[in-house]
């Protein structure tokens, strides 16, 4: 009786699934889904490597400073960095005076109790990067966590910054309706191919590095991506450095554990 | 303990004697995980996963309590408090990653533990209660993990909560009011976040309670073993201490190495990048997927794309998703084969390895993939087999299968017939 009941319940689910499958398969054959431009022309991020990659990765502080300069001079016009405090920049190798000077360069909003107005004052080391008000089209995302908030984040940021191009003629031939709308910009590394952000890195020399590195678009894109790896996870270096002694100890303890296991079970067939 | 040869706890120190007369806690420990618990000598490494699961539970509770010290359950600040924990709290990054990856580790261990049970028939008499309590633990774990994932209030937290709580809306008539009552609103918001936090803190301790019952129920008949033959004499068993303490000990080492490798070198590999974007009710992610450990059941939910007679597709999916786990409750009565272990059940073994395991693998894969073809059709086939396996295949197989001959005893299976004969006790000493 229980067996018959269970088979009936089983048939209920399996027949319902077969029904869904059959109808779905029929639909696939009669009206196959149309190909889309996003599906065919979207590209995975380019191969790019950073000093912080790999199990032994360390930040290249010189590069982080260059990346911060790119952020400050280019990205900061539209993108905020709200999880990062100026004091955190000490990790990039700046001394206290330099951190204070950087903070001073930013205006931080403060609410004036007496007047009821929101005013601004010069930033201090303890302040976080202030919010950025953006008046144009779209909402520029906060960049603090961007390299963790995208698949293959660092390579994605780098690819997006260097990936602007004219819409391929092939795409327009195949999908005439997929022409990039006015005000948007074609970039195959962006999920739907057209994004509101105009190419931010326009040409060599846009940022003049103080360490003499040539400010090519490729270099700037790499540097700012490296900087954004740091903003997303300032403790990345410490994490990897902690991992090795932990694994070393565990390996030692596990070998000891294995030996005592062998010792205790010696002569006991199992 | 159930076996007459189980060693008795004999406190030697006067204080321990005093204690034993008043609160025999050391006796309980001795009889549970000490020399007083005889365990089959032939357990393989799949039997280490129960102990590992308990370890994961402790790990989650410890790291979770620390995380809760730095967390605020408020939609305005929840995301930021988690980030602050990672950035500004001493070792906060390690606690956070340990807790997030600890959930994954717990589920890896528990899936192995459950499938060990499937293969070796651990659910069969006299261990039905062990199995039923185990399924209860699994359901509680899923609820706890789901609510925990909502707490950081990222995009996947919010949209995952929206999809899963939306399932209650599929219940006829009362669905919508029930959903609003559970959420404290029309969509997941502050009220929901607060109750999720409260429950996320409560449920692990409920799990601890059920785990105690699970172990208690296990210790009545004692552990099962890979042959599925019941313990017959003392030579079939070894005391838990030191034998299985040593074996579990080094298994913990291997587990810890794997876990720490993930924690220190790939802490975000199992997470979804979208959860590093703060929740935004106005922007739906391209693909809403739960954490990997829910993928098989999420695939089953999405496999029902067509209304079935009068039952809407969504309700069908919800019924099937919960049914996929609830069917485990009936397993001890669906599988009537007198032989426990899959090692001696040729037909069952074939369906297990070439049916259930591939179906589960496909469901895992498709649950994490976008709701497009071919993933939907693949998960339909896999889900079909999944239900057929438990509800049709197992009852029929257990009726028609001719099992392989079983060894007479555990000792015989380990030592061979001749050696075992030398050790064989007088018939009067055996227990049934």
Give the pLDDT confidence score for residue B430 in this predicted structure.
Answer: 47
With beta carbons less than 8 A apart as the criterion, state whether B19 and B26 touch. yes
Element holding A118 (H helix, E strand): strand A118-122
Give the pLDDT confidence score for residue A137 in this predicted structure.
Answer: 73
With beta carbons less than 8 A apart as the criterion, state whether A60 and A223 touch. no
Give the pLDDT confidence score for residue B58 in this predicted structure.
Answer: 98
Name residue B237's beta-bridge partners.
B40
Which tens digits make up the pLDDT trace of A211-243? Answer: 999 999 999 999 999 999 999 999 999 999 999
Pairing of strands A194-195, A185-186: antiparallel
pLDDT at B428 over 60: no
State both tokens at A34: 């149309």
Specify whether B417 is catalytic.
Answer: no
Give the pLDDT confidence score for residue B432 in this predicted structure.
Answer: 44
Count other Cβ atoms within 10 Å, centred on residue B96: 22
Contact A9 B277 (CB under 8 A): no
Specify whether B247 is catalytic.
Answer: yes
Three-class SS state of B239? strand
Most B CBs within 10 A among A4, A11, A21, hence the mutation to make, goes to A21
pLDDT at B314 over 80: yes
Specify whether B219 is catalytic.
Answer: yes
pLDDT at B92 over 60: yes
Q: Which domains does chain A have, with CATH numbers?
A: 59-84+130-164+199-257 (1.10.760.10), 93-128 (no CATH)
Which chain A residue shows the shortest CA-CA distance from B245? A261
Of A233, A250, A270, the CB nearest to B41: A270
B8-16 long-range contacts, CB within 8 A, separation 24+? B8/B36, B9/B34, B9/B36
Distance (Å) from the alpha carbon of A100 to chain B's nearest alpha carbon: 19
Q: What is the DSSP string of B309-323?
A: TTB-HHHHHHHHHHH
User: Of B57, B83, B315, B334, whose CA–CA distance to A8 is shortest?
Assistant: B334
High-pLDDT (> 90) share of chain B, %:
91
Which tens digits make up the pLDDT trace of B296-309? Answer: 999 999 999 999 98
Q: Per the omega criterion (within 30 degrees of 0), is the bond before B126 cis?
A: yes
Pairing of strands A185-186, A107-111: unpaired
Q: List CB contacts of A226: < 8 A, sequence separation 6 or more.
A: A50, A51, A52, A59, A60, A63, A64, A67, A154
Q: What is the DSSP letter of A6?
A: H
Do the annotations mark residue B272 as ligand-binding? Answer: no
State the average pLDDT over residues A53-75.
95
Q: Which domains does chain B have, with CATH numbers?
A: 34-424 (1.20.810.10)
pLDDT at B161 over 90: yes
Alpha carbon of B182 to those of B72, B178, B207, B221, B417: distances in Å? 21, 6, 21, 40, 61
Which tens digits make up the pLDDT trace of B8-33? Answer: 999 999 999 999 999 999 999 999 99
Averaged confidence pLDDT in chain A: 94
Any B CB within 8 A of A17 CB: yes
Give the pLDDT confidence score for residue B429 in this predicted structure.
Answer: 47
State the average pLDDT over residues B358-378.
93
State the average pLDDT over residues A50-55.
94
Specify whether B189 is catalytic.
Answer: no
pLDDT at B425 over 80: no
Distance CA B148, CA B164 (A): 13
Residues 189-218 (A) with a CB less than 8 A from some CB of B: 191
- Count, residues in chain B: 432
Any B CB within 8 A of A251 CB: yes
Do the annotations mark residue B70 as ligand-binding? Answer: no
Chain A residues near residue B83 by CB distance under 8 angstroms = 83, 144-145
Give the pLDDT confidence score for residue B294 in this predicted structure.
Answer: 96
Which tens digits make up the pLDDT trace of A90-100? Answer: 999 999 999 99
Distance CA B52, CA A203 (A): 56
Most A CBs within 10 A among B385, B387, B400, hence the mutation to make, goes to B387
Residues 172-191 (A) with a CB less than 8 A from some CB of B: 191
* Confidence grade of residue B427 (pLDDT, cut at 50, 70, 90): low
Averaged confidence pLDDT in chain B: 94
Give the pLDDT confidence score for residue A33 in this predicted structure.
Answer: 86
- Of A131-135, B230-234, B295-299, the one with minimum mean pLDDT is A131-135
High-pLDDT (> 90) share of chain A, %:
83
In a 10 Å sphere around its CB, with 0-12 CB exposed, 13-18 middle and 19+ buried, how is residue A231 labelled?
buried
Which tens digits make up the pLDDT trace of A85-123? Answer: 999 999 999 999 999 999 999 999 999 999 999 999 999
- Of A5-14, A56-65, B415-424, the one with minimum mean pLDDT is B415-424
Do the annotations mark residue B13 as ligand-binding? Answer: no
Which residues of A are annotated as part of the binding site for heme c?
75, 78-79, 197
HSE-CB at B169 with a 13 A cutoff on CA atoms is: 12
State the average pLDDT over residues B373-378.
92
Confidence (pTM): 0.95
pLDDT at B75 over 80: yes
Which tens digits make up the pLDDT trace of B101-133? Answer: 999 999 999 999 999 999 999 999 999 999 999
């Amino acid at each position: 009786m229980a067996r018959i009941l269970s088979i009936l319940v089983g048939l209920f689910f399996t027949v319902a699934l077969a029904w869904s499958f059959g109808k779905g398969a029929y639909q696939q054959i009669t009206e196959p889904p149309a190909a889309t431009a996003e599906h065919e022309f979207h590209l995975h991020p380019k191969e790019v490597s950073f000093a912080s990659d790999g199990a032994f990765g360390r930040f290249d502080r010189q590069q982080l400073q260059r990346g911060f300069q790119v952020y400050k001079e280019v990205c900061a016009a539209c993108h905020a960095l709200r999880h990062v405090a100026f004091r955190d920049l000490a990790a990039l190798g700046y001394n206290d005076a330099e951190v204070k000077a950087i903070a001073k360069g930013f205006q931080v909003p403060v609410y004036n109790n007496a007047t009821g107005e929101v005013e601004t004052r010069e930033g201090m080391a303890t302040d976080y990067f202030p919010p950025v008000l953006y008046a144009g089209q779209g909402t520029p995302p906060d960049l603090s966590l961007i390299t963790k908030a995208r698949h293959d984040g660092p390579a994605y940021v780098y690819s997006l910054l260097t990936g602007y191009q004219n819409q391929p003629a092939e795409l327009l031939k195949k999908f005439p309706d997929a022409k990039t709308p006015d005000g948007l910009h074609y970039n195959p590394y962006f999920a739907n191919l057209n994004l509101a952000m105009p190419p931010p890195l326009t040409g060599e020399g846009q940022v003049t590095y103080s360490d003499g590195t040539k400010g090519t678009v490729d270099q700037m894109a790499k540097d700012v991506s490296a900087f954004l790896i740091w903003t997303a996870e300032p403790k990345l270096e410490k994490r990897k450095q902690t991992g090795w002694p932990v694994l070393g100890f565990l390996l030692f303890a596990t070998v000891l554990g294995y030996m005592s296991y062998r010792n205790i079970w010696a002569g006991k067939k199992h | 303990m159930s076996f007459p040869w189980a060693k008795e706890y004999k406190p030697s120190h006067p204080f321990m004697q005093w204690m034993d007369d008043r609160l025999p806690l050391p006796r309980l420990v001795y009889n549970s995980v000490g020399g007083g618990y005889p365990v089959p000598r032939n357990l393989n490494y799949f039997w280490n996963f129960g102990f590992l699961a308990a370890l994961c539970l402790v790990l989650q509770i410890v790291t979770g309590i620390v995380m809760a010290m730095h967390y605020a359950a408020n939609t305005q600040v929840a995301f930021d408090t988690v980030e602050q924990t990672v950035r500004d709290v001493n070792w906060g990054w390690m606690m956070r990653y340990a807790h997030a990856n600890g959930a994954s580790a717990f589920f890896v261990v528990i899936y192995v533990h459950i499938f060990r049970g499937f293969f070796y028939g651990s659910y069969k008499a006299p261990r039905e209660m062990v199995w039923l309590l185990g399924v209860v633990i699994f359901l509680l774990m899923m609820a706890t993990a789901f609510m925990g994932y909502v707490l950081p209030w990222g995009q996947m937290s919010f949209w995952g909560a929206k999809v899963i709580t939306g399932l209650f809306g599929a219940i006829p008539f009362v669905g919508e009011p029930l959903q609003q009552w559970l959420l404290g609103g029309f969509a997941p918001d502050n009220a929901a976040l607060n109750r999720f936090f409260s429950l996320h803190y409560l449920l692990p301790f409920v799990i601890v309670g059920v785990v105690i019952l699970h172990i208690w129920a296990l210790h009545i008949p004692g552990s099962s073993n890979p042959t599925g033959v019941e313990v017959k004499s003392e030579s079939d068993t070894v005391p838990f201490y030191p034998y299985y303490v040593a074996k579990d000990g080094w298994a913990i080492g291997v587990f810890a190495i794997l876990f720490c490798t993930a924690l220190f070198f790939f802490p975000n590999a199992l997470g979804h990048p979208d959860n590093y974007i703060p929740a935004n009710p106005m922007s739906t992610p391209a693909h809403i997927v739960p954490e990997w450990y829910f993928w098989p059941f999420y695939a089953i939910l999405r496999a029902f794309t067509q209304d079935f007679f009068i039952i809407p597709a969504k309700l069908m999916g919800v019924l099937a998703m919960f049914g996929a786990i609830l069917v485990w409750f009936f397993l001890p009565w669906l599988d009537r084969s007198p032989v426990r272990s899959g090692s001696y059940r040729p037909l069952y073994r074939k369906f297990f390895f070439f049916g259930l395991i591939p179906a589960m693998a496909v469901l895992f894969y498709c649950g994490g993939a976008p709701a497009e073809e071919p993933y939907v059709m693949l998960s339909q086939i896999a889900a079909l087999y999944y239900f057929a396996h438990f509800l049709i295949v197992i009852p029929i197989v257990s009726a028609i299968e001719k099992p392989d001959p079983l060894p007479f005893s555990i000792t015989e299976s380990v030592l061979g017939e001749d050696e075992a004969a030398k050790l064989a006790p007088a018939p009067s000493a055996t227990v049934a």
